[in-house]
Amino acid sequence: MSLIEVKDLSVNIGKKKILKHINLNIEEGTVTALVGPSGSGKTTLLRTLNLLQIPTAGSLKVGTTTAIAGKIDTKTIHDLRQNSAMVFQQFNLFKNLTALENVANPLIYTNLANKKEAHKTALKILKKIGLEEVITQYPATLSGGQQQRVSIARAVAVRPRVILFDEPTSALDPELVESVLQTIAGLAKENITMILVTHEMDFARQIADEAVFIENGEVLSKGPAKELLSGRTSPRIDSFINSLKRSAFA
């Protein structure tokens, strides 16, 4: 049985149709890359999976919680978000908390652990990703790469069934990208279910099991990542990958 089931999902923002009749199944323990041109609806789809964006039509199921458009109440949102965590493009760390508190406090705030347990869990995760040196530092004093890794640690700490990554490296300087990608690759090895919006095609090919190509709010193609992202399956995907390569060398 799939961990995530998206059925005929549509999202309108104002009068604009951002997502149109999306159907998607994601298996537990897999990594799925959402790729496509800017403005295609990838981020909206990711945000809808966490109900940060409420769907206009269709339904989605994450774990045992089903959200049906038009019938989504605060309980559904709460239940669904218990299954997922999100890593944002701009890190979105809590600026008034240290790195350790950023990871530990959400556990305390949501009654997932007491203070002692939360700090122990946070320390363990931060150590694992090589951030034990900065645990007492505030986000403003960390590099972009470190901030994003703390944000990944924060997502991991709540033990979600799926982690949603929204272009986790696009706000980083090129020299800081690698460390974040290595952290994500480390999670992939642990069979944590991940959905990743990214423009890092080589990385997506490397770690993703499945890939979904989205354009104009529709799923244009989906399939095994290595195959789909090779560009050989569709001229449109090939031209998209080539455009990314060109912009990288520009």
Partner 1 sequence: MNFDWQYFLKALIQLPEYIPVTLIMAIFAMILAIVIGVIITVFQLSPFWILRRFAHFYISFFRGMPTLVQLFLIYYGLPQLFPSLRGIPAIIAAIVGLGFKESSYLSEIFRAGFNSVDEGQIEAGKALNISKITLFWHIVLPQATLNALPATGNTFVSLLKETSLAFTLGLTELFGEGKMLAGESFKYFETYLAVGILYWILIIIYTWLQSLLEKELLKPYRRDLNEPDRSEGPVS
Q: Interface with partner 1 by CB under 8 A: which residues? A: 50, 52, 78, 81-82, 84-86, 88, 90-98, 105-106, 109-110, 128-131, 133-134, 137-138, 140-143, 145-146, 151, 154, 158, 176, 178-179, 182-183, 186
Q: Taking a C-beta distance cutoff of 8 angstroms, is the pair 212, 9 a contact?
A: no
Q: Which residues pair with 26 in a beta bridge?
A: 4
3-state secondary structure of 119: helix
Q: Taking a C-beta distance cutoff of 8 angstroms, is the pair 123, 134 a contact?
A: no
Our CB check for partner 1 shows the closer of 163 and 211 to be 163
* Residue 144 in tokens: 């972009």
Least distance (Å) between residue 138 CB and partner 1: 4
3-state secondary structure of 12: strand
Least distance (Å) between residue 199 CB and partner 1: 20
Least distance (Å) between residue 24 CB and partner 1: 19
The C-alpha atoms of residue 69 and residue 233 are separated, in whole angstroms, by: 34
Least distance (Å) between residue 228 CB and partner 1: 27
Our CB check for partner 1 shows the closer of 81 and 119 to be 81
Our CB check for partner 1 shows the closer of 190 and 246 to be 190
Instruction: Fill in the amino acid letter for 48.
Output: T
CA distances from 199 to 7, 35, 205, 214 (A): 25, 7, 11, 12
Of 130, 225, 139, 134, the closest CA to residue 183 belongs to 130
Our CB check for partner 1 shows the closer of 193 and 213 to be 193
Least distance (Å) between residue 81 CB and partner 1: 4
Our CB check for partner 1 shows the closer of 66 and 137 to be 137
